[in-house]
Each structure stands twice: as C-alpha cells, then as structure tokens.
Amino acid sequence: MNELFAVLPAPIRTLLNSLPAAVRDNLEEVRLRQNQAIEIRYGQQASYVTASGQLTSNSRLGWVFTEENRQKLINQISQHSLYAFEEELKRGYITVVGGHRIGIAGRIVMEHGEVKGIREITSFNIRIAREKKGVAGKVLPYLCDAPGKGICNTLVISPPQCGKTTLLRDLARMLSYGSEWAASRKVAIVDERSELAGCLHGVPQRDVGPRTDVLDACPKAVGIMMLIRSMSPDVIIADEIGRSEDGEAVWEAIHAGVSIVCSAHGNDLLEVAQRPMLGKLIQHGAFHRYVVLSRANGAGTIQGIYDKNLKRLERAQVAW
Amino acid sequence: MVKLIGCILVLFSASMVGWQLGRRYANRSSQLRALLLALQMLETEIVFGLTPLNRAFVKIGQRVPREIGNLFQTAAELLQTARELSTQACLQAAIDKHWPQTALRKDERDVLSSLAFVLGSSDVEDQQKHLRLAITHLHALEEEARVEQGKYEKMYKSLGFLGGLLVVILMY
C-alpha cells in the first residue's frame, strides 16, 4: 500500500496515514471529488475523514479535496503525461504501481459517437487492490476433476467488489506454483485491465507464480487466441468476459485443449445464464465448474460451487 | 622589445574579445537548432511512442548537445523526484536553472515557458498542436538568428581585431 500512498499528494497521504490502524489496514476505497469531503470505504462501512484523521459521518466536517490537490493527483497518477493514458482514460480508469486501480469521472469528450477521452477529471475512486494468498485453496480442490487430468473450465460469478479478481489471481498463483491438489502447470493471463497481475512496464507487480505469462492490457478475445498460438499454456485466466467475441475465444480455447478460468459479473448463476453470450456458453456446457461469490460474510464469501449440470457441489459459506 | 610584446598582447586580447562577442551569435543559432531538434524528437516520442515526459526527456537529453541536453535532463529529474511540484513548475525550474549557460534570448525562453504550461496536460492531438506551434515560433527565431549571425559575427570579429590595431597604432 505504500507504493500507492507515494502517488498521492502530501495532504492526502498524511490524512490516510493518520487513520486508526484498524481502518487503514482494511481500506478498500478512497473516494475524492473536487470541492467535496474525502470519503473512505473500509470493511462494509463508509465514512468521511476530518483534517486530523478522525472518522465522521458529517460531510461538512470532512477534509475538502481542493482544485490544487486535484491537479497534483492527476499529475502524479499520469506521471505528468496525460497523453500517454488516452486508452486508459477512454476506459475510465488508470492502473498505478502495485496494480491499484483509480477510477475517474469528469467531462467526457465525444468523437464520431464514441468516447474519445475525459477532460476536467474531477472524481477519483482509488480502489486498493489486495493480494490474499491462499484464498484459492478453498476452491481449487473442486476444480480438479481427477488426478492426472486437467483443470476444469471454470466460470467465477460475482457482483462487483466480492473478490473475483483476488480469487483469479490466487488461482493463477497456485496453479503456477503447484499445490497438493494440482501439479504445477503453465499459466497464461490475459490482463485486459492490468488488474490481475498489476503489470508495470510489462512486469507483474503481484505474485502470479513462476510459470505464468502475462499479456498485459490486451483485449481478451484477441489475447486468448494469441496465447493459444504462441505460448502453449495449460490454463488461460481472463477477467470479466462479457462481449460476444470473448465467448467465441473461450469456445475456441476449450476446443484447443486449453483449460480456461474466467469471471463474469452477476449475482448468481440464473442471472448470468440470461446474458446472451454467457447463456449460450452455459447451455452448450462449455464450463465444467461455476464458482459463485458474494459479500454475505464479507468480501469473498463462497456462495456455492456448481458442476457442469448446475448441481451444487458444496454447501459451505465460509469467508476467507 | 617590451613594447612589441605589449602590442601583440593588446592585439591578441582585443581580437579575442571580438571573437567571443561574435561567437555568441553562432552559438545562439546552433543552440536554437538543437532546441528545434529536441522539440521535434519530443513530438515523435509523444505522438508515436506515447512515452511519459520524464522518460522522453532523458532520451532527448542524451542525444542533443550539452547546453540544451542538460535542461532536459534536469527537467526529467525534477519530474521524477519533485512530487510536490506541478508539471509546469518542474519545467520552469529546469529552464531557470540552465538558461544562463545558453546563448539563447528572452524570445526563445518565452516560447519554452508557454509550452511548459501545456506539456503533459492534454491528449496527443492537443500536445502535437502546441508543440507544432512552438516549433514554428522557434523556426522563425532561428531564421532571424541566422541573419544576425551573418551580419554581426564577422563584424564583431573584425571589429575586435581592428580596435586592437587602433589602440596599438595610437600607443606606438
């Protein structure tokens, strides 16, 4: 987290450092809006912070994010070079050292009916990425069909903020290192949003294992095809599939003898099955395992693991 | 004998003063060309390489003549280390630090200072527009510097020597 604090302007850094340790260690989001009080989210709670680092529910007592600090924050996160982040600005977030993601909002500039970029960025949502090693240990035993055989094609389903990226990252790590349930194998990650491996200049900032290749900032559909052709992976891991071309690439990978582990937004299996592309994949039995996450007992609660025929394999509702 | 040595010394130093004054014109136009080259490289880095400013500046600093290169090196260092300074302040500080060592004038400085206000703060297209504008300005200034060099460089050099000669004749 220190590397993230380093990109923040001094006043914000001191403010966050003066938070009670229990809050600081559980920090999930820091929200900054120009001329508004700073808001933080930790655990399940949200709160404003006063200038002295006290938590408060009164927005008028909170420390105000000024124009000057806004400019400094933009300078820092863009390394004084906003033009180098055009692609990121189009998508609405910038990934910084350590794989933390900063969501942004402001005035959108359109060109030919498409978003060209964001000018006058005034809202920031700093999402603190957490590495939780070992979280995949609860899921992994269910993903190995039989000894000696490959990893099941798996879809992780979860609403936002329930830890699906964390789970995928740890799966990559455990598959790459090898564990008591699955021998070490070649893993390839298509990291479209630089969130899984948190690459900086192409080098993963998070531990994704020694036998892992990362295709950073690559669109998933293209990336999956590239990896099959060039890197001969055993397992391909991709975050948040949803577009129709993603579905085709997944289908292609499955028939190329590569296992695929990916995630999708959704509250439960039923909801996901209604989405056009994913529904089709599920109908055709593309996936052999479904892992559903929720926030019931804190981020990362495993609601259930289902097999190819959508039959539940496990009842446990354990939080990490 | 002593008189002769004195004469030679006077003639020599006067020529040197003239030569120095003349050099300033030659230096100005060569440094202007270096600056133009640097900005054109910056344009390439920004438009085609999408290289962040600090890394682009390091590259440029290594490739253009020292007087101008140092300016870019310092700017790169400041961008990297001075966390509390805005982009414009970093660039301006580098300009202020290295300007006395160059033969460039206020006109060139104004062009760079106004560029410092916009560098890094907008999208590629916008950056390119501003860089092109600065390059056009500097081109005009370079033209002017070259004309001046043709006019005055030789003049100062001969003036120095002739001035020395005059003093020698008067003294003799």
Indicate whether A319 pLDDT > 60: no
| Domain assignment of residue A319, yes or no | no
Mean pLDDT, residues B121-132 taken together: 90
Indicate whether A320 pLDDT > 50: no
Interface residue of B43, B88, B123 to substitute, partner A, most A CBs within 10 Å: B123
Look up the pTM and report it.
0.71
Total tally of structural domains belonging to chain A: 2
Q: For A127-177, write each residue's pLDDT tens digit.
A: 887 777 888 888 888 887 655 567 889 999 998 878 888 899 999 999 999
Nearest Cα residue to A32 out of A4, A3, A74, A2: A74
| Domain assignment of residue A304, yes or no | yes
Residue range(s) defining the domain that contains residue A102: 2-127
Indicate whether B161 pLDDT > 70: yes
Q: Please indicate, yes or no, whether residues A110 and A140 belong to a single structural domain of this protein.
A: no
| Domain assignment of residue A27, yes or no | yes
| Domain assignment of residue A320, yes or no | no
Q: Please indicate, yes or no, whether residues A118 and A167 belong to a single structural domain of this protein.
A: no
Annotated domain spans of chain B:
2-171
CATH of the domain at A89: 3.30.450
Indicate whether B62 pLDDT > 70: yes
| Residues A274-308: b if buried by 16+ CB within 10 A, e if exposed | ebebbeebbeeebbbbbbbbbbeeebbbbbbbbee
Mean pLDDT of chain A: 86
| Domain assignment of residue A280, yes or no | yes
Name the burial class of residue A35, with classes exposed (0-12), middle (13-18) and buried (19+) by CB atoms within 10 angstroms of its CB: exposed
Q: Which of A95, A127, A159 is the last residue of a domain?
A: A127
CB contact under 8 A, A84 and B52: yes
The predicted complex's ipTM stands at 0.76
CATH of the domain at A274: 3.40.50.300
CB contact under 8 A, A79 and B52: yes
CB contact under 8 A, B127 and A10: no
Q: For B75-117, write each residue's pLDDT tens digit.
A: 999 988 887 788 889 999 999 999 998 888 999 999 999 999 9
| Domain assignment of residue A225, yes or no | yes
Interface residue of A7, A75, A79, A80 to substitute, partner B, most B CBs within 10 Å: A80
> At A136, phi and psi to the nearest 5?
-75, -15
Indicate whether A315 pLDDT > 60: no
Q: What is the pLDDT of residue A297?
A: 80
Q: For A252-276, write each residue's pLDDT tens digit.
A: 888 888 999 999 998 888 888 888 8
Mean pLDDT, residues A59-75 taken together: 89
Q: Please indicate, yes or no, whether residues A201 and A287 belong to a single structural domain of this protein.
A: yes
Q: Give residues 112 to 151 of B whose Cβ lies within 8 Å of A.
A: 120-124, 126-127
Residues of A in contact with B121 (CB under 8 A): 82
Q: What is the pLDDT of residue A318?
A: 44
Q: Please indicate, yes or no, whether residues A194 and A259 belong to a single structural domain of this protein.
A: yes
